[in-house]
Chain A
């Protein structure tokens, strides 16, 4: 038959964050949160002014973008079954009887997933519904073994939120401006399985593990003239990276504008993004157009949440979920952290973004700060330029770095006490990166990188250099101000770069005046 079923990937627990509203600008990076649950979240809808300047007599176009974001919850078991969630487990190895939709099995809601949903709702300034409902969404597909998906269509767990984020590009390109996206709803939704089509053998293989740890976004896009009704929208489905999402939206906006400006019309259709060609194409299947025949899920009672005032007396804390309690466990939210970094350490706003966008980088930075006397700004420069540069070059995560925060702190202390020059510090860092386990002091002493502290010896070197290059000395005396730099360079060379150039300059100037 058409579907001896291939099975790979992982299942489970998914959400949909559908955010509508806010300002999305072409080319802007889309806000992604990196909180402990690893949901990726994004985006938005709002008028967008295209980069093109309107020619005289022409209307401007505005684009409206709404995103439906599917992000997996970081949990140990699936949304409605006890089977595990594990990235890259062998196909169909984590499938409970419920996951395989064996007749007679019933969904049991995973507490952890509800807590994660509430936490996300709170972090995104949503209204948390104290009562939410589950629905069945029906369609036939080989990777949907029950013939329906359990979701929250009518009354989702959280609604009406917002997220403020910043993008580059105010009046000056280096400026950051803040935007707000409105979030329509957050809903808990069971993941479907995964289909793998083998065209050669005309087979479809299904993996019911589900849950690939991925982000999947469907973007709804329309364009219209400001002040006029919204245009007809298209839906670009299954975008799985932020970069492709941005590209697909950009393409789709431009395509719609071109279409309309050449007298064409936009069809209400689903499209897919061809990442090779960088364009969107209509989807052939009827998936977007079918009637899902929603109905209430009869096997799950309404999901009731409490807060401290509504909590029934004597309630078993294992049986109830208290919104206030979850609020108390919320970590510092990224916007607060960024603000704190700017206030506390005097960092630039864009630096605060970079520190938070890389997993573990903020913690690394703070650990260095704890152990060093160096200025926070200086630490930030080292962490964001040198350290992050090395990581990126080798495609490593912060946690995989061969240089520990203590090692970098020690290096910065040496620099701060002027024990080494900043160029020597770069050299030491390179060595620390290469030879894991060494301390900065060890490297400095092994490679004799410490600055010359012996002023008399330095004075002698300056003197002998001047004697060895009388022509350059003459030039300086004639008033060629650049000639002194040559002398400084020669002295530094003679010290094997171990002397502070400013100090050399001082000595040379004294000698030349005498």
Chain B
């Protein structure tokens, strides 16, 4: 039951094959079993059971609220949830209980979804590993999968099993691990430079970043306001579309959301791709790209071509300036956004009381980790009067050039761009922490952050398992506000590649979950 698509499980609920409470308990029990993954910061068990009870009453009366009624979901711990602690994985917000729901959370609850809990992340979503939060790193469920373990036994390197787990990617790693282990059917992530797509790629999930302005940011604790979007993580493209359909649209509380009414996002099934034009940006072929990912990328392009689509090489000439430009804009907004955490109104406050200034300094020192403090420091440097023109203004200009690169490509007739999501598959934690957060973010956001600077929709789709038995994702980038078209193409692709279901036999003894739908043979793109 847990491995099914959202629509399938929704049908099962309607037909009474399972009740919302039963479904909720199954997920809660899985959350317990997978606790060591550290996917959840807060498990809102009582809330979820209460919601399940309400949902059950509705189903009994035949008054279901829709496809999401009774469906377990999880929310990244940087979305405000009324009455439920919201920490951003930071000491600064430990114990902070928001008095209101983020608009996206409210919309899901209004549809009868069950909130299972708040998921782990890098502190204030600053990171690409989900390793730098105050509650500790998130472990990638694929570390424990049959697929990965079998491959590893073939090439034993004598590492101790316990210490050799893999990172999920980030910063929405908790949400990715939660969906990947079937503890929920969908999870909200946030995506500022790739934070939803990156862990989706590493955990074998669909990770969707909507067009900027399509989905409300009200209640999302900001990293970079001009790039943040709520992201959606699911196991299937159709599930993402169902969730997007609920979330999309104008929010009077977020002035940057679209004014015009949005159309339904429910996806048609594409049978013919011959009218599609797929662009392959040549600048994304970087030396650091692993040969395996490169080869899968190329095979995916071939797949489109063989099915009749037009596949062309395109150029996004300012790509190489993107990551440094992102760094300047990101840290500047971070410096500004983090200014409110002063210990006065909410959150952590130090014991020092010699002066207000001393209290601010100590509170912020104690409350933020090195990564956050480092970004605040650089951001404030870029915003200084003497530096503003040379850094911030220039970065804004470069941002425009990068956005124009995309506009030009799409104007030339390209419908969707196809790129890698990450340089390689998930790496072991011990490997990952050999480099600092800044270096890692610069590497890991390489294919993803330009999309945020341009405000475009993008989605990472799991393609195949690598030779190590780990998921590899590819990214599709669409025209602004052509989110439905993008997801339609992604859905077609998903069907072609038949990505295998994660097998967690030691963890999940529930056979109905891991074995149904199992299709180990990934047809066209198998290595």
Residues of A within 8 A of B217 (CB): 104, 106
Report if A102 contacts B (CB, 8 A): yes
Report if A190 contacts B (CB, 8 A): no
Residues of A within 8 A of B79 (CB): 104
Known: A106-B254, A294-B388. A145 touches B345 (CB 8 A): yes
A102 touches B346 (CB 8 A): yes
The stretch of B6-14, B350-358, B512-520 that contacts the partner chain: B350-358
Known: A3-B356, A299-B256. A103 touches B93 (CB 8 A): yes
Residue in contact with B218 in the complex, picked from A3, A105, A148, A291, CB distance below 8 Å:
A105
Residues of A within 8 A of B253 (CB): 106, 108
The stretch of B38-46, B61-69, B330-338, B407-415 that contacts the partner chain: B330-338
A291 touches B344 (CB 8 A): no
Residues of B within 8 A of A103 (CB): 80, 86, 88, 93, 96, 98, 221-222, 340-341, 346
A147 touches B340 (CB 8 A): yes
Residue in contact with B344 in the complex, picked from A145, A298, A300, CB distance below 8 Å:
A145
User: For the complex, what is the distance from the CA of A108 to the CA of B253, rounded to whole Å?
Assistant: 6
B255 touches A109 (CB 8 A): yes
User: For the complex, what is the distance from the CA of A5 to the CA of B342, rounded to whole Å?
Assistant: 13
User: For the complex, what is the distance from the CA of A97 to the CA of B103, rounded to whole Å?
Assistant: 14
Contact with B along A1-21 (1 / 0, CB 8 A): 111010000000000000000
A104 touches B98 (CB 8 A): yes
Residue in contact with A142 in the complex, picked from B256, B333, B344, B385, CB distance below 8 Å:
B344
Residues of B within 8 A of A3 (CB): 344, 356, 359
User: For the complex, what is the distance from the CA of A140 to the CA of B226, rounded to whole Å?
Assistant: 23
Residues of B within 8 A of A291 (CB): 384-385
Report if A138 contacts B (CB, 8 A): yes
Residues of B within 8 A of A344 (CB): none
Residues of B within 8 A of A109 (CB): 255
Report if A83 contacts B (CB, 8 A): no
Residues of A within 8 A of B93 (CB): 103
Residues of B within 8 A of A140 (CB): 339, 342, 357, 360
Report if B219 contacts A (CB, 8 A): yes
User: For the complex, what is the distance from the CA of A102 to the CA of B93, rounded to whole Å?
Assistant: 11
A146 touches B339 (CB 8 A): yes
Give chain A nearest CB distance to B228 CB in angstroms.
9
Known: A2-B354, A301-B255. A293 touches B98 (CB 8 A): no
Give chain A nearest CB distance to B137 CB in angstroms.
23
Report if A219 contacts B (CB, 8 A): no
Residues of B within 8 A of A105 (CB): 218-219
| Closest chain B residue, CB of each to CB of A297 | B225
User: For the complex, what is the distance from the CA of A17 to the CA of B99, rounded to whole Å?
Assistant: 36
Residues of A within 8 A of B354 (CB): 2
A148 touches B336 (CB 8 A): yes
Give chain B nearest CB distance to A122 CB in angstroms.
25
Residue in contact with B353 in the complex, picked from A2, A142, A148, A299, CB distance below 8 Å:
A2
User: For the complex, what is the distance from the CA of A138 to the CA of B332, rounded to whole Å?
Assistant: 12
A298 touches B333 (CB 8 A): yes
Residues of B within 8 A of A5 (CB): 344-345
User: For the complex, what is the distance from the CA of A146 to the CA of B385, rounded to whole Å?
Assistant: 20
Residues of A within 8 A of B99 (CB): 97, 102
Residues of B within 8 A of A104 (CB): 79-80, 98, 102, 217-222
Residues of B within 8 A of A102 (CB): 80, 98-100, 345-346
User: For the complex, what is the distance from the CA of A142 to the CA of B340, rounded to whole Å?
Assistant: 10
Give chain A nearest CB distance to B77 CB in angstroms.
12
Contact with A along B310-342 (1 / 0, CB 8 A): 000000000000000000000011011011111
Report if B374 contacts A (CB, 8 A): no
Known: A1-B359, A293-B383. A101 touches B340 (CB 8 A): yes
Residues of B within 8 A of A97 (CB): 99-100
Most B C-beta atoms less than 10 A away, residue of A97, A104, A105, A319: A104
A108 touches B255 (CB 8 A): yes
Report if B392 contacts A (CB, 8 A): yes
| Closest chain B residue, CB of each to CB of A2 | B356
Most A C-beta atoms less than 10 A away, residue of B338, B339, B380: B339
User: For the complex, what is the distance from the CA of A138 to the CA of B338, rounded to whole Å?
Assistant: 11
A295 touches B256 (CB 8 A): no
User: For the complex, what is the distance from the CA of A146 to the CA of B332, rounded to whole Å?
Assistant: 15
Report if B252 contacts A (CB, 8 A): yes
Report if A151 contacts B (CB, 8 A): no
Residues of B within 8 A of A439 (CB): none
User: For the complex, what is the distance from the CA of A197 to the CA of B49, rounded to whole Å?
Assistant: 48
Interface set, chain A 274-309, CB cutoff 8 A to B: 291, 293-295, 298-301
User: For the complex, what is the distance from the CA of A326 to the CA of B79, rounded to whole Å?
Assistant: 40
Report if B349 contacts A (CB, 8 A): yes
B255 touches A298 (CB 8 A): no
Report if B259 contacts A (CB, 8 A): yes
B259 touches A319 (CB 8 A): yes
User: For the complex, what is the distance from the CA of A2 to the CA of B219, rounded to whole Å?
Assistant: 29
Residues of A within 8 A of B349 (CB): 1
Give chain A nearest CB distance to B482 CB in angstroms.
21
User: For the complex, what is the distance from the CA of A107 to the CA of B352, rounded to whole Å?
Assistant: 32
User: For the complex, what is the distance from the CA of A102 to the CA of B337, rounded to whole Å?
Assistant: 11
A294 touches B339 (CB 8 A): no
User: For the complex, what is the distance from the CA of A298 to the CA of B225, rounded to whole Å?
Assistant: 6
Residues of B within 8 A of A295 (CB): 332-333, 336, 383, 388, 392
| Closest chain B residue, CB of each to CB of A204 | B356
Give chain B nearest CB distance to A12 CB in angstroms.
17
Residues of A within 8 A of B383 (CB): 138, 293-295
Give chain B nearest CB distance to A235 CB in angstroms.
18
Report if A383 contacts B (CB, 8 A): no
Report if A136 contacts B (CB, 8 A): yes
Residues of A within 8 A of B346 (CB): 100, 102-103
Residues of A within 8 A of B353 (CB): 1-2
| Closest chain B residue, CB of each to CB of A293 | B383
Residues of A within 8 A of B356 (CB): 2-3, 142, 204
Interface set, chain A 32-64, CB cutoff 8 A to B: none
Residue in contact with A101 in the complex, picked from B98, B345, B357, B388, CB distance below 8 Å:
B345
Interface set, chain A 195-229, CB cutoff 8 A to B: 204, 206
Residues of A within 8 A of B384 (CB): 291, 293
Residues of A within 8 A of B358 (CB): 2
A299 touches B339 (CB 8 A): no
Contact with A along B41-82 (1 / 0, CB 8 A): 000000000000000000000000000000000000001100
User: For the complex, what is the distance from the CA of A291 to the CA of B335, rounded to whole Å?
Assistant: 14
3 closest Cβ contacts across the A-B interface?
A: A147-B339, A293-B383, A298-B225
Given contacts A2-B359, A103-B93, 4 further A-B contacts (CB under 8 A): A97-B99, A103-B341, A138-B383, A147-B340
Q: List 15 A-B residue pairs with CB atoms under 8 Å apart, sorted by A's residue number.
A: A1-B343, A1-B349, A1-B359, A2-B354, A5-B344, A5-B345, A100-B346, A104-B80, A136-B336, A146-B340, A206-B344, A293-B336, A293-B380, A293-B384, A295-B383
